[in-house]
Homo-oligomer: A and B are copies of this chain.
């Protein structure tokens, strides 16, 4: 315990998860650590669930960095404690509850969350519930595998509950770089000018009197398994690498590219994976989540620095990470999401963003969140923060879904998270469309010809050509048909016409 709680008088705050959970009351706003299932509190949420299952009626608002594990999102949803949730999630039970409107959800840009907390836009944060590696001599909190919104949660609440997770290796200490911005009009320039710049402290400052409870736990992060890299993902990765090489030849990118950001999921993992066997070297990554393929890139000597706000390897990746923590620590920096997702830093560094879309329309508008316009999948996450401020913004998607019954290239996106103004490049397993400098009609032809699945290409061209015969030819649409593909899928199970 000595190296975990380094300030002696805080030891009297140690208690059971059950006692700590009693501090959380009906109606409270609770901001937690955690970002993609890593570094999130586990014991106290489970204790809260128990209380409710024993008959208490509690409803709370939960703010996390991004998605968190089932012990938090799943458990609190199933027992009905979760009434409102911001800003991103990937849990099946929570997703269903959101789509049945049992949980109020607002899908937000991650870069907005921490400043909304600071600005008081959510109201007063009642409790900061955070997982920690250790508490320093001054009461500073050392995070575990993610940082997320922890600094702002701690700063803006009067009560901090700390879960010290003994399953997290002490070698994580030193990997974090905590820098916080002031509120306007006092905000200064963030002094990061290179991916690897360290500008802050190793811990999150916290007045010790705020710490109301310390709970010990050893529940490991419930990391998600990564599927094997499939053929479409490999093709997508290949198209992107060819494109990046071309940009280097044209003098529009330096030889070692610019800092890479890569989304979450299997395609994103495959894209980075493809770089292992490429000729690129001295790469850096300025991203949210450090996944397995990043470890591969570090091992292969391709990536010198990876900056993120969460370490989220698979189970095998976690083993590898723990065994070589010292090695990886030299190449990884964890930052608050306020910094990893900050428009200022992203724009300055000139990031190449690569995110996955649910669907893309012929004019380059991207849907990342709502299936058939209405059903929340996960959320926008940081994709908008990166896309909007990138040097080059790339979106990937497999050209069809649901065994080919859905075309991921559609006449009009059923929901729009990233507009035509923000998307530079679209890639599917079919090919790549470079949209820079194109008018909508030029864009449409590139996307249909290079990216759409052959089964849908003629249908899309037919839509476009008929739309072009109407009066307004800038971004031509047939309004009574624009969403008919989605409508047909909902009614018949296929976007195809018999």
Contacts and interface: CB of A to CB of B under 8 A. Distances in A.
Q: How many copies does the complex hold?
A: 2
A249 to B, nearest CB: 12
A104 B445 CA distance: 14
A439 B105 contact: yes
A112 B193 contact: no
What 6 pairs across the A-B complex have the smallest Cβ distances? A184-B350, A374-B472, A375-B472, A189-B189, A101-B473, A104-B439
A477 interface: yes
Nearest to A470: B374
Nearest to A377: B474
Contact of A416 (B107, B109, B416): B416
Interface string A394-438: 000000000000000000001111111110000000000000111
Contact of A474 (B109, B347, B375): B375
Interface in A359-401: 365, 370-376, 380, 384, 388-389, 391
Contacts of A121: 252, 436-437
A231 interface: no
A281 interface: no
A187 B349 contact: yes
A344 B86 CA distance: 25
A47 interface: no
Interface residues on A, range: 35 or more
A476 B107 contact: no
Interface stretch (A71-79, A264-272, A449-457, A482-490): A482-490
Given A99-B472, A416-B419, A487 B480 contact: yes
Contacts of A415: 475
A370 B475 contact: yes
A414 B479 contact: yes
Contact of A475 (B250, B374, B438): B374
A376 B477 CA distance: 12
Contacts of A422: 109
A108 interface: yes
Contact of A376 (B122, B190, B375, B474): B474
B348 A122 contact: no
A419 B365 CA distance: 11
Nearest to A376: B474
A472 B422 CA distance: 28
A191 interface: yes
Given A190-B189, A421-B108, A437-B121, A475 B376 contact: yes
Contact of A374 (B105, B190, B477, B480): B477
A119 interface: yes
Contacts of A188: 193, 348
Nearest to A489: B479
Contacts of A84: 439
Contact of A348 (B344, B384, B436, B467): B344
A175 interface: no
A343 interface: yes
A179 to B, nearest CB: 13
A343 B347 contact: yes
A194 interface: yes
11 contacts: A104-B442, A107-B420, A108-B421, A119-B391, A121-B252, A184-B258, A184-B391, A185-B254, A185-B258, A375-B471, A480-B487
B474 A106 contact: no
A98 interface: yes
A25 interface: no
A187 B388 contact: no
Contacts of A106: 437-440
A209 interface: no
Nearest to A351: B184
A189 to B, nearest CB: 4
